[in-house]
Amino acid sequence: MHLAVYLPLLAPLLAAGSAGWLAERMAPRWATWLLATAAVVLAVAGGVALTALAATAIAQLPPVAALGHWSVAVLRREDPASLDLALVASAAALAALVAAVRTLCLRIRALVAAARTARCLPGARQLVVLDDPTPDAYAVPGRPGRIVISTGMYDALDPGERRVLFAHERAHLTCRHHLFVAAAQLAAATNPLLRPLAAAVGYSTERWADERAAQATGDRPLTARTVGKAALLSTHHPRATALAVTGDSPRHRGLRRTGPVPRRVAALLSPPVTPHPVLTVLILLVLTIAAAAAVEAARDLDILFDLAHVATVR
């Protein structure tokens, strides 16, 4: 069990280091699917590994050992990890579970609220124009989803730029990006090491919507200019600045790292990214190894407990 149980806990380190880079190098649609899947797989594999480590410690507690008819001596002898490490793993596993449940509840509540909002917004059409001078535009997921744009934003853009914006937001709703983001953030809640991965998923959904908008309007430079213009508008509007500082700053920022907007504009001003089969294969390979390691750890745990049980019977 020794190696198998630690692998799923180390893989997220690899993910944290490479997530941002992968999101830039891969085509956005692929990147979103792969990175979101990676986040979920690594979270589950990590959870299994932690539980495996924790179980050996918990089972050595006399009342638990008595209840399960497990020999404490055998468990201690075959224990893959020291008791201290297993106790740490127990705490981590519990924290991860609590965080996952809490995040899931909060997210469901937020999504339900959003869907209700979307339904209650006046007007029969998908688009809702809010009389508000603060430039702002966003998609509200729901059944049906709505696109909200403030008059501040609406009036500042010309018809071509508005078409870019609507196509972008419509792509968010059609492709259900909120689900990818929710899955990745749920995974990140269980393991903080996965936070860069979740941020990368968020970024690649924006890129995905940008590319869809560029295809829909058939004008990549226009799409790039619209994104840039909208960002500069928001930055320079007094009320919007507060919003930007508190709510919308990109989460994952190095000292010299550029935020998502300039990177999106730069990507749109360059030709589309060509698919990278090698990267896809590599990612899937790492995920398969992590998942296999978790399964192996669980199997070994099962064998260990069988041994311990047999020892008491004898």
Partner 1 sequence: MAQWVRTAVVRTAVGENDDAERGARRPAGALSAQVLEVLTAAGRALTPAEVRGALLERGLEPLAYTTVVTVLSRLHTQGLLDRSRVGRAYAYVAVADHSRLAARRMRRVLDAEADRDAVLARFVSGLSAHDEEVLRRLLGADPEA
User: Rule CB under 8 A: which of 135-154 touch partner 1?
Assistant: 136-141, 149-151, 153
The phi and psi torsions of 189 (rounded to 5 degrees) equal: -65, -35
H helix intervals, the chain: 2-25, 28-59, 62-68, 72-78, 83-120, 151-156, 159-174, 177-190, 195-217, 220-236, 238-243, 260-269, 277-313
The minimum distance between CB 268 and partner 1, in angstroms, equals 10
Residue 306: closest CA among 77, 3, 75: 75
Measured from the CB atom, the residue of 137 and 283 that comes closer to partner 1 is: 137
Contacts of 231 (CB under 8 A, 6+ apart): 261
Measured from the CB atom, the residue of 96 and 177 that comes closer to partner 1 is: 177
Residues of this chain, 86-125, that bind partner 1 according to CB under 8 A = 106-107, 109-111, 113-114, 116-117, 120-125
CA distance 50 to 5: 8
Residue 83: closest CA among 56, 49, 50: 56
Residues of this chain, 261-300, that bind partner 1 according to CB under 8 A = 261-262, 265-266, 269
Residues of this chain, 182-201, that bind partner 1 according to CB under 8 A = 182, 185
Measured from the CB atom, the residue of 216 and 284 that comes closer to partner 1 is: 216
Measured from the CB atom, the residue of 86 and 167 that comes closer to partner 1 is: 167
Cβ atoms 39, 199 nearer than 8 A: no
Measured from the CB atom, the residue of 111 and 307 that comes closer to partner 1 is: 111
What value, to the nearest 5°, has the Cα angle with vertex 125 and ends 124 and 126? Answer: 130
Measured from the CB atom, the residue of 6 and 133 that comes closer to partner 1 is: 133
Residues of this chain, 63-92, that bind partner 1 according to CB under 8 A = none
- Binding flags for partner 1, 200-219, as an x/- string (CB under 8 A): --x--xx--x------x---
CA distance 269 to 194: 30
Measured from the CB atom, the residue of 46 and 141 that comes closer to partner 1 is: 141
CA distance 109 to 136: 23
The minimum distance between CB 199 and partner 1, in angstroms, equals 11
221 lies in the site for partner 1, by CB under 8 A: yes
Contacts of 69 (CB under 8 A, 6+ apart): 309, 312, 313
- The residue range among 11-19, 33-41, 48-56, 128-136 that interacts with partner 1, by the rule CB under 8 A, is 128-136
Q: If binding means CB under 8 A, how many residues of this protein chain bind partner 1?
A: 82
The minimum distance between CB 46 and partner 1, in angstroms, equals 21
Measured from the CB atom, the residue of 8 and 260 that comes closer to partner 1 is: 260
Residues of this chain, 152-181, that bind partner 1 according to CB under 8 A = 153, 159, 162-163, 165-169, 172, 177-178, 181
Total count of residues recorded for the chain: 314
CA distance 170 to 145: 9
- The residue range among 35-43, 74-82, 221-229, 285-293 that interacts with partner 1, by the rule CB under 8 A, is 221-229
Residues of this chain, 227-246, that bind partner 1 according to CB under 8 A = 227-232, 234-235, 241, 243-245
Cβ atoms 192, 117 nearer than 8 A: no
